[in-house]
Amino acid sequence: MKKSIYITYMGLTEPLLYSQALNYLKGLSKKGINIYIVSFEKKEFLKKEVIKQIKLELQEYGIKWIFLKYHKSPQFLSKPYDIIRGMFFIAYLSLKERVDIIHARGTFCALMGAIPKVFLGKKMIFDVRGLMAEEYVDAGFWNRGAFVYKFINRIEEYFIKKSDYVIVLTNKIKDIFLDKHKVKNIIVIPTCVDLEKFYLNNTGKQNIKFTLIYAGAIGTWYMLNEMMDFYKVLSESISNAKFIILSQSDKDTIERHVPAQLKENVFIKSVDPKAMVNYMNMADMGIFFIKPCFSKIASCPTKFSEYLACGLPVIINNKIGDTGDIVRDNKIGVVIEQFNAQVYRKAIVDMGKLLEEKIILRQRCRNVAERYFSLEEGVDKYYKVYEGLK
């Protein structure tokens, strides 16, 4: 039985990792992989009842979970401290448990797995969740002339070339890696969805108002002002259209972006992830606008597959991973190229034409989710990677 250490700098107590990565790891465990999870947990999420619940859940699958504290301060020393601490802990654990594979989720985690990979001869999977150096530049935190950008960029290139297997989220970034780095072992595994938990229910829509929905965090990449502008144009075209925002982000911060004239029909809710499917099945259309920058070619938003699994057509912007191609090729929504009222009006007209055959459209969205984003198929691909490491 192969043994693996799955390293994540995001906490297992955080909703995104819990609902995404954990599903893959459960599936791999069922297939006979012995898994140790090492995560970095933030103090605000470390509640005794949550830890107990996760440990009991993992125990059923034979998965062992060890967590280290995530440090936020001091500002410039916290991450180097976490990385160095992680490096020595992963080296110790890999020796103690005679682990075969280091599975690193992202660049920092690849650094933590460097000792077992370079000095102990362990196999490494570099699970690229995004281009970290480019993301920090696109977010405005670094510039490409900065030492830290060059350092992280070199680290990413090293692990892309030297890892035994590279996993990416999109075909677009795979093509770049193949061309630039001549990677031999690389596979695309997009952000998959549990098709049993996110399901299509054509009888789920009870209200008569047209409902637009957004699910997920609001932050650096997600263009809330532009989404609100789109909703304003939508409400001018469709009287009393509703906009539901499902987010764990600060409600007051979101409300500040809602124009006074729209507040009556904008509903901001923080809901349990298990309840999201109910709201999606009451909606008519899902939306996300993401800053269209270079780093986002490596992204596959979780909400995209969840919308489609619930039969929701989408309104999105271009240049976000493979999403635009999937939407256009399968006629499951509208992809906009610019953010202005004229483009939004045309998009609403185009979406209206698609919605003329609503039941057929919703089934088509579900079919795309099953074809591209099945969790079962995602687990099979991960297992293929593990089996390929001899």
Q: Tell me how many degrees the CA angle 91-44-23 measures, rounded to the nearest 5.
A: 60
Residue entry with tokens 């809602």: 258
In this prediction, residue 213 carries a pLDDT of 98
In this prediction, residue 75 carries a pLDDT of 81
Q: Give the pLDDT confidence of 198-224 residue by residue, as tens digits.
A: 999 877 565 568 999 999 988 889 999
Q: Which residues of 96-119 are buried (b: 16+ CB within 10 A; e: fewer)?
A: eeebbbbbbbbbbbbbbbbbbbee
Domain 211-372 has CATH 3.40.50.2000: yes
Q: Give the pLDDT confidence of 3-24 residue by residue, as tens digits.
A: 999 999 999 998 778 778 899 9
* pLDDT range class, residue 360, cuts 50, 70, 90: very high
Mean pLDDT of 299-328: 97
Q: Which residues of 150-189 are buried (b: 16+ CB within 10 A; e: fewer)?
A: eebbebbeebbeebbbbbbbbebbbebbeeeeebeebebb
d(CA 118, CA 132): 22
Q: Tell me how many degrees the CA angle 311-312-316 measures, rounded to the nearest 5.
A: 145
d(CA 166, CA 2): 18
In this prediction, residue 389 carries a pLDDT of 94
For residue 101, give Cα distances in angstroms to 324, 368, 386.
35, 33, 8
In this prediction, residue 304 carries a pLDDT of 97
Percent of residues, the chain, with pLDDT higher than 70: 99
* pLDDT range class, residue 274, cuts 50, 70, 90: confident
Task: Check pLDDT > 80 for residue 80.
Answer: yes
Mean pLDDT of 65-94: 95
In this prediction, residue 358 carries a pLDDT of 92
Q: If you ran DSSP here, which 8-state letter would residue 248 be given? A: S
Q: Average per-residue pLDDT in the chain?
A: 94
Highest mean pLDDT among 72-86, 201-215, 258-272, 333-347: 333-347
How many residues belong to the chain? 390
Task: Check pLDDT > 60 for residue 82.
Answer: yes
Task: Check pLDDT > 80 for residue 294.
Answer: yes
Range scoring the smallest mean pLDDT among 201-215, 307-321, 374-388: 201-215
**What CATH topology corresponds to 3-192+374-388?**
Rossmann fold (3.40.50)
Higher pLDDT, 206 or 161: 161
Please state the separation of Cα 231 from the chain's center in Å: 24
In this prediction, residue 15 carries a pLDDT of 75
In this prediction, residue 207 carries a pLDDT of 58
CATH 3.40.50.2000 domain extents, the chain: 3-192+374-388, 211-372
